[in-house]
């Protein structure tokens, strides 16, 4: 009988403690002191917002990734060709997911995936990018090649092989 009481108390305590959770999802600051000289805007909300302006006829936001944030892109003016590359699919093949966006269209780039935007319109393009982190980070893929000791011939050979499969 004594063992049964002990087991019952142990089970109740185990269940009660499993429901307790204390975490802070990721705000960089819980409280912010207002500074007169800067425009705080989105400070401490855990999000970022950027306006991207593209010149007409093929202006490109080159392939890049945000390691700590998902990006939502809203096209305001002109037409953009956007896309991202999937990673680690079950069959080992990565896929290029693309879409042509017109004003008012929205596209989501998943966290950490390589993506790009290209203005295919004849006028200036404007887009708003919202990121799910106050500090999303950015890694430009072309910039990541610098200092890697990869020869330009190796990169160009890979590009030619890729183009044969896409077109």
In the numeric block, the tokens 């490109």 are attached to 60
The CA-CA-CA angle for residues 117, 119, 120, to 5°, reads 125
Q: Name, in order, each residue with C-beta under 8 angstroms of 46's C-beta and a sequence gap of 6 or more.
A: 25, 26, 27, 28, 132, 133, 134
Q: Name, in order, each residue with C-beta under 8 angstroms of 127's C-beta and a sequence gap of 6 or more.
A: 51, 52, 54, 73, 74, 75, 76, 80, 117
66 known member of a binding site: yes
119 known member of a binding site: no
Query: Residue 5 forms beta bridges with which residues?
Result: none
Q: Which two tokens stand for residue 145?
A: 């090649």
CA 23, 25, 28, 31 torsion-angle sign: negative
64 known member of a binding site: yes
Q: Name, in order, each residue with C-beta under 8 angstroms of 6's C-beta and a sequence gap of 6 or more.
A: none
Q: Which residues are annotated as a binding site for oxalate?
A: 61, 66, 71
Q: Which residues are annotated as a binding site for Mn(2+)?
A: 64, 66, 71, 115
Q: Which residues are annotated as a binding site?
A: 61, 64, 66, 71, 115
């Amino acid at each position: 009988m004594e063992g049964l009481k002990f087991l019952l108390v142990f089970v109740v305590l185990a269940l009660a403690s499993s429901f307790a959770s204390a975490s802070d999802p990721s705000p960089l600051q819980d409280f912010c002191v207002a500074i007169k000289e800067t425009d705080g805007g989105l400070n401490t909300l855990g999000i970022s917002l950027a306006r991207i302006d593209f010149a007409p006829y093929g202006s490109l936001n080159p392939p890049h990734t945000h390691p700590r944030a998902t990006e939502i892109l809203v096209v305001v003016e002109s037409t953009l060709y956007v896309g991202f590359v999937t990673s680690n699919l079950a069959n080992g093949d990565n896929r290029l997911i693309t879409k042509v966006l017109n004003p008012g269209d929205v596209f989501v780039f998943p966290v950490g995936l390589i993506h790009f935007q290209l203005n295919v319109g004849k006028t200036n393009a404007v887009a708003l990018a919202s990121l799910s982190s106050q500090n999303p980070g950015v890694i430009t893929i072309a910039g990541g090649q610098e200092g890697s000791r990869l020869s330009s011939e190796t990169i160009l050979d890979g590009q030619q092989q890729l183009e044969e499969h896409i077109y």
